[in-house]
Amino acid sequence: MKKILLTVFTLVAILALAACGGDKKETSDKETGKKETTKLVVGASNVPHAEILEEAKPLLEKEGIELEIVTFQDYILPNKALENKELDANYFQHVPYLESQIKDFGYKFVNAGGIHIEPIGVYSKKHKSLDDLPKGATVIMSNSVADHGRMLSLLQAEGLIKLKDGVDQTKATVADIAENKKELKFKTDIEAGLLPKAYQNNEGDAVLINTNYAIDAGLNPMEDAIALEGSESPYVNIITVREGDEKKDSIDKLVKVLHSDEIQDFIKSEYKGAVVPVSGH
C-alpha cells in the first residue's frame, strides 16, 4: 500500500513540476517583451521593386512584419498569384495597367498606395537622338497595350507624332496616331521583358523599354536612353492588394515604410533619377 501511495505521490509531483515548467516558459516569453510577427508575402519585379522591398525589410521587422519577397519576370503572373491568394500584395504595376487587368480579368484589386515612378525610355544603338531617326524608322514597343499610350505620349512630347484630339492618352494605341511626320513603323509584338534583348540585338531603329527591365539588363536610363519620360508621369507604381485588404494593419505598415524618408532617400541615391519616389497616389 505504501509503495502504491509513493508511486501516486511521485506521479503527481512530476505532473506539478511539468505544469510549473510550462508556466515559467510562458512567463519568460512575456518578460522578454517579444512582439508577435505577421508574415507578409509580396510579389515584385526584380528591379527596382524587389530591391526596394529588401531595403524595407529591417524597417518592417521593427514594426512586427516578416516580409517574404517573391520575384516575377513578367507582368501576368503577379496578379494571378494575388488572386489565388499566393500573395498578400504585389508591387510591380502602375495604375493604368492595373485598370486594364481588372477590365480584362475581373480582378477585385485596389491600389493601396503609390510608391515610385519609373520614367520609360527610348533606346537606340543606331541613332544618338530621336531627331536622327530616318523616315520610315522602326520603333519597337512591348505587347502590353496598357503601356502603348504612355509610350506614344512620350513620342508626342518629343514632337515625332501627334495623337488624335480628345483621345485619352493613357489608353491610346497606334491606331490613334493622327500625324506621323517620319512615317514611323511600329512593332508591338514583343514581351516587355525581352525589350532589352531586342535593343542589344540592334533590332529596329529605336526601342522603348520600361525602366525596371532596362536596369535589370544593366542599362543606365539616365545615360543610355536617347529620350526619357518626365517625372510628372501619371504612371505611378503601386502596392496592389485584394479589395478590403488595404485596411489591414500589415499593408498599412508596408506602405508607410515605403513612404518613409529612409526608403525615399534610398531610391534617390540608388537609382539617381532613373526611379523617382512618390509619397502618395
Tens digit of each residue's pLDDT (9 = 90 or more) over 200-229: 999 999 999 998 899 999 999 999 999 998
CATH T-level fold of 38-119+234-277? D-Maltodextrin-Binding Protein; domain 2 (3.40.190)
Q: What is the mean pLDDT of residues 266-271?
A: 95
Please give the span between the terminal C-alpha atoms of the chain, in angstroms, as a whole number: 80
Output the DSSP codes for 79-107. HHHHHTTS-SEEEEEEHHHHHHHHHHH--
Read off the pTM: 0.75
pLDDT at 35: 64
pLDDT tens digit sequence for 57-104: 999 999 999 999 999 999 999 999 999 999 999 999 999 899 999 999
Rounded Cα–Cα distance for residues 18 and 190 (Å): 66
Q: Give me the pLDDT at residue 266, please.
A: 97
- Specify the higher pLDDT residue, 280 or 210: 210
Region(s) of the chain under CATH 3.40.190.10: 38-119+234-277, 121-228
CB 139 within 8 A of CB 131: no
Fold topology of 121-228: D-Maltodextrin-Binding Protein; domain 2 (3.40.190)
Summarised one tens digit per residue, pLDDT across range 31-45 is 445 568 999 999 999
Q: Is the pLDDT of residue 235 over 70?
A: yes
